A and B are shown apart, each in its own frame.
Chain A
Amino acid sequence: MRLNFCLSIAFLRYLIRAYARIKKSLAKDLESRPALDFGGAFFAVAVKEGSSEVIHLDFNDDEDGVTWAVPLGDWEGGEFCVPQLQKKIPILPGQVLGAMTRILAHCGTPVTAG
C-alpha cells in the first residue's frame, strides 16, 4: 500500500455547521489556498504510507461523525481491524471505508506486499 488517506472531520470538535464555520473563520486561507476546501466532505486529510499498526482511537474526531479511509496503490494486507467487532475488514483497490473511529478502537494489519 503506497498510501493510506484517512479523510476525516479530524480535529474539528463539533460536527454541526462544520463547513460553514470553516468557511467563515478561514475565508482568507481558503481564498489563498482553495485546494484546502474539500467541499464539506471532510476537513483534514491524514496521509501516511502503510497502515497504522497499533490499536488506537481517533480522539480528535467527532463522536457523531464518519472518518473515511481511502487506500491507494496496489497492496496485500492492510486490513482494518476492529477488536470490538471481532472482525477485520479487507479493503481492496477502488474501495473506501467509512467508520466511527472515535468510538471503535482500530488498527491496520501489516501490509505484506505493495
Chain B
Amino acid sequence: MPASRRGRRNPETSELKASEWVKSGGLTKVEAIIHSKTSEHDSMLVPTNSKFLSARDTVEEYPGHFVGGSTNAAKVTETIQNLYPGLITRDLPSVTTIGRFYIPTPIERHALHPPHLIARFDQVVKQSVNKRLITAWDNLLQAGIRFPKPHLSRSSTPALHLGFGEAYSKRPFVTSDSRAQSSDIIIAMDKFLYLIRQLIALKLLNLLKRDYPQQYERQMRCV
C-alpha cells in the first residue's frame, strides 16, 4: 500500500505545505503582524503601512479650521479656497492602494477625538457580500424608491438617508427617507438594510471596538 500524502506527520507533505505557505505570502504576513505587535512605537500613532506614510503625515493645523465653527457650506468652500488656492483635488498625491493604514490624530489630540483622522481597512467586504448588497439595492431601485433632492453643496446626485436622525430635534427620529415610501418599497428597503446590518455593521462594530475603543465605549454605554 503506497504511503499516504495526507497528514501533517508526513514530512514530504509538511515541507510542501510550508513552501506553499511561504510562497503565498504567509510568512511575510506573520512577520508584519509580529512587527506591528512588538514595535517600540505606539501602534496607534504609526501607520501600518509606514513604507508609504510617515507618522508626521497629519493635519498641519489641529483640530482644524472647522471645529465649533459655522455650519455653512459656502464658508467651508471659501476657507478651503483661501488655504489652498488653485486646489485640484484629483491632482492631490495618492497614498498606497495596498492594505490597511492609519493617518493618526496628532499626539496632542482633543481628549474625545478618535485616535485616527482616517483609517482604511482591508478585506472587510467580501465579493459575495458586495454582490448580495448590490442585488438588494437593485431591488430597492426597481421597487421605485423616491430620492430627495440632491444637496448641491455636496453632490449633483441625490443620496438617501436611511435610519435614525437627531439633528434639529429634541429626540431621535426615523428619517423621512426611511418612512415616506410605499409599503412595497419599505419591504425592499428593510431587506437591504437587514443585509447591511448582518454583513457590514457587525464587522464595523468590531473595528470600532478594536481601533476606536473610546468611541465604542461612549457609543455603546448604557448609563
Contact = CB atoms under 8 A, between A and B. Distances in A.
Contacts of A68: 204
Interface residues of A, number: 86
A38 B201 contact: yes
Interface string B110-142: 101110111111111111001001100100000
Contacts of B1: none
A38 B203 CA distance: 11
B160 to A, nearest CB: 5
Interface residues of B, number: 96
Contact of A85 (B57, B87, B124, B193): B57
A54 B219 contact: no
Interface string B42-81: 0000000000000001111101111110010100110110
B26 interface: no
A15 B110 CA distance: 15
A100 B196 contact: no
A48 B133 CA distance: 13
Interface in A64-114: 64-66, 68, 70, 72-73, 79-100, 102-105, 107, 109-110
Interface of B: 57-61, 63-68, 71, 73, 76-77, 79-80, 83-84, 87, 89-90, 92-97, 103, 105, 110, 112-114, 116-127, 130, 133-134, 137, 152-167, 171-175, 178, 186, 189-191, 193-194, 196-197, 200-202, 204-205, 207-208, 211-212, 215, 218-223
14 contacts: A17-B218, A26-B172, A41-B208, A45-B160, A45-B193, A56-B154, A57-B76, A64-B113, A72-B125, A83-B87, A89-B120, A97-B119, A107-B89, A110-B90
Give me the 6 closest cross-chain CB pairs, A-B, nearest first.
Answer: A11-B165, A44-B163, A48-B159, A41-B205, A35-B190, A35-B193
